[in-house]
Amino acid sequence: MNIEKAILAVITTDKAKIDGGAPIFLCDDLEEMQVVAANLEAIMDGIAHALSENLYIIVKH
Amino acid sequence: MNEYIYAIVFGILIGVVARIIMLRTDYRQYPTNLHGKIIHLSLGFIAASLGAMAVPALMEQEYTAITFLTLAASQFREVRNMERQTLTEIDELELVSRGKTYIEGIAISFEGRNYLVILTSLVGTLVYILFNVYVALITGLICLIIAKSLMSGSTLKDIVAIDHHPLHFKDAGLYIDNIYIMNIGLKARQEEILKYGMGFILTPKNMNVITTIANLGQRQAILHDVSISLGVFRDSGTPALTPLIKRDLDDGRIGVFILPQVREVEKAAEIIGAVPVLENAIRMPSQSRTHNKNEEADL
């Protein structure tokens, strides 16, 4: 089986909301989230998608 | 020198002229200049020779000679494979890929053009032998005109209405009108997209068109042609900046999201309109008998 899309990282300020597989990056505020997500996006060649205001995922397409 | 030599030379000439007319290097930069062109001109010459030789062979009652036309057929199928392979290889390294349907369309037309050349030469030589050089010249001209018209297909502006719509974000979702394109999380990216992006809505003019423009290959062809003509604001490793086309499932309209380097709305609309309708994407549900029968029953 070929997995075409994968969540490479999760970025959030709310630890209570997440658990499990992908690497999780905890941030103090929304501004830090933007910076971390932008960096990860560039590093991983993925896209930062916003699931809610304080929960971003980096997805490889 | 035998009696047919002038007829054969004439046939070859008219065939090669036909190939030259049908060989255009345009904005697609395909065939590539010089070397790509030489390959196709040489193959055109071979095709023309085969076509021209067939008639004298028949006249001399060398019926077996006609079998080399089958050789020609397999030869030109090879041309199609060659084109397909080259283009597929190159496609991986394009910023916005052509897509398989577009490649197949190009490959098919290269094969088809060679058959048109054979036909032109054949008719040219035949008429030359039966009548004289003047009649042959006129026939040749008619063949060229027919070949030219057979070669050109329709373009998108014939089948859809093209309207510019500004892009907007609803939370992280990028929309054109009411068509959802993709989710962009980063604020900085969103601003970039609003600044550099452009949105168009293509509204199909009839039912057949809905299926045609829904074809993923046709959609990719639109994106490719626009990025070739207007440039594209993206690089490797920036998957968030990807031109995309999404479909409105309700009515079959498609939303075209592009990131052109040259941001001129008029020009972009014109270029989208000039995208060829790919023959492999054309669907004709209205020609289906079963479908029409149901329609009549409904009425």
Flag whether B23 is in a domain: yes
Task: List the single best residue of B170, B180, B184, B186 to mutate versus A (max A Cβ within 10 A).
Answer: B186
Residues of B in contact with A42 (CB under 8 A): 237
**Where a domain ends, among B106, B124, B152?**
B152
Is the pLDDT assigned to residue A31 strictly greater than 80? yes
- Res B298: pLDDT: 53
φ, ψ of residue A55 to 5 degrees: the values are -140, 110
- Res A60: pLDDT: 86
- Res B82: pLDDT: 86
Q: Residue A36's closest chain B neighbor by CA?
A: B186
Q: How many domains does chain B have?
A: 2
Whether B186 and A48 lie within 8 Å, measured CB to CB: yes
The ranges assigned to domains in chain A are: 6-60
φ, ψ of residue B114 to 5 degrees: the values are -65, -35
Give me the total of CB pairs closer than 8 Å, taking one residue from chain A and one from chain B.
39
The answer to whether the CB of B254 falls within 8 A of the CB of B202 is yes
Assess whether B136 and B171 both reside in one domain: no
- Higher pLDDT, residue A2 or B278: B278
**Where a domain ends, among B121, B152, B183?**
B152
The answer to whether the CB of B154 falls within 8 A of the CB of B277 is yes
φ, ψ of residue B257 to 5 degrees: the values are -105, 115
Assess whether B171 and B251 both reside in one domain: yes
- Res B72: pLDDT: 81
A37 touches chain B (CB under 8 A): yes
Residues of A in contact with B182 (CB under 8 A): 47
Closest CA to B140 of B48, B42, B76, B4: B48
Flag whether B183 is in a domain: yes
Q: Of all residues in chain A, what percent carry a pLDDT higher than 90? A: 23
Q: Residue A37's closest chain B neighbor by CA?
A: B186
- Give 10-residue mean pLDDT values along chain B (299 residues): 84 90 74 79 90 86 82 84 89 90 88 89 90 88 85 85 92 91 90 92 90 92 92 87 92 92 91 90 82 62
Q: Chain B interface residues facing chain A, Cβ-Cβ under 8 Å? A: 171-172, 182-189, 236-237, 239-240
Flag whether B124 is in a domain: yes
Smallest Cβ–Cβ distance between B185 and the set A42, A45, A49 belongs to: A49
| Domain extent at residue B233 | 157-285
Q: Tokens 């004298």 correspond to what residue?
A: B56
Residues of B in contact with A48 (CB under 8 A): 184-186, 189, 240
Q: How far off is chain B from A7, nearest CA to CA, in Å? A: 14
Flag whether B299 is in a domain: no
Flag whether B297 is in a domain: no
Instruction: Spell A2-30 as b/e; 16+ CB within 10 A means b.
Output: eeeeeebbbbbbeeeeeeeeeeebebeee
Sequence-ordered strand ranges (E) for B156-207:
160-165, 167-170, 173-176, 179-183, 198-204
Q: Which segments of chain A does DSSP mark as H helices, in order?
A: 30-44
What type of residue sits at position B83?
E
The answer to whether the CB of B99 falls within 8 A of the CB of B224 is yes
Flag whether B232 is in a domain: yes
- Res B174: pLDDT: 93
Q: Tokens 């930062």 correspond to what residue?
A: A48
Flag whether B97 is in a domain: yes
- Reading the block at residue A24, the tokens are 């999780």
The answer to whether the CB of B124 falls within 8 A of the CB of B10 is yes
Rounded Cα–Cα distance for residues B73 and B263 (Å): 46
What type of residue sits at position B85?
Q
What type of residue sits at position B167?
L
**Where a domain ends, among B152, B178, B194?**
B152
β-pair partners for B162: B202
Helix (H) or strand (E) holding A9: strand A6-12
Assess whether B56 and B148 both reside in one domain: yes
DSSP per-residue codes, B221-241: HHHHHHHHHH--S--TT-TTS
- Res B29: pLDDT: 67
Rounded Cα–Cα distance for residues B94 and B98 (Å): 8
Flag whether B290 is in a domain: no
Assess whether B132 and B170 both reside in one domain: no
- ∠ CA B7-B8-B10, nearest 5°, is 65
Closest CA to A58 of A11, A3, A4, A2: A11
Smallest Cβ–Cβ distance between A41 and the set B171, B186, B236 belongs to: B186
Q: Residue B184's closest chain A neighbor by CA?
A: A49
- Res B219: pLDDT: 94
Residues of A in contact with B174 (CB under 8 A): none
Whether B239 and A47 lie within 8 Å, measured CB to CB: yes
Give the Cβ contact number of residue B59 at 10 Å.
15
- Res B253: pLDDT: 92
Q: Residue A48's closest chain B neighbor by CA?
A: B185
